[in-house]
Amino acid sequence: MLYAFLAYHEEEVVQSWSDAEDAALMGELNGVHQRLTEEGRLGPAARLGATATAFTVRGGGLVIDGPFAETKEQLLGLYVLDCEGREQAVEAALALKTANPGAVYEVRPIVLYLPGTDIPFTDAGLEAVRPVRA
């Protein structure tokens, strides 16, 4: 069964990390990613750009800037994992949480998955995720 793991974090905290702090956290997460990949369970995963670059599309074609979430944490990334069931999904979420203690993971079963085509590149948008340092 496929599960979506939605990674929430306080965006200001993530943006305040130094390059070394960010690299250390990603090193921890990459250990979890590698294990899940070796187990053949890790599907698409993404680190999202800053919420300041987001927009929302509402009824009637209205497009407005920002996600306008009234929450302390913002959705900053996502994973798709193949898990045998809830217990294995919880185990994976706990491993991600151990690697990234400041994050909150919302885990939801996927009821429809359309893989589409390979994405050849991303706009890493690191300037939007973390301010450029002099």
**Domain extents for the chain?**
2-113
- Helix, coil or strand: residue 58: coil
- For residue 72, what pLDDT band results from cuts at 50, 70 and 90? confident
Residue 68 contacts by C-beta under 8 Å, 6 or more apart in sequence? 56
What per-residue confidence (pLDDT) applies to 130?
47
Q: Do residues 1 and 109 touch, judged by C-beta distance below 8 A?
A: yes
Question: Chain-wide mean pLDDT for the chain?
Answer: 83
Residue 94: what pLDDT? 93
Residue length of the chain: 134
- Tokens linked to 82: 């193949």
- CA 3 – CA 123 distance, rounded (Å): 25
- The pTM for the full model equals 0.76
Cβ-defined contacts of 57-63 (< 8 Å, 24+): none
CATH class of 2-113: alpha beta
- Chain segment 1-49, per-residue pLDDT in tens: 999 999 999 989 999 999 999 999 999 999 999 999 999 999 999 888 8
How is the beta sheet containing 74-82 ordered, strand by strand?
Answer: 42-47, 74-82, 2-9, 104-109
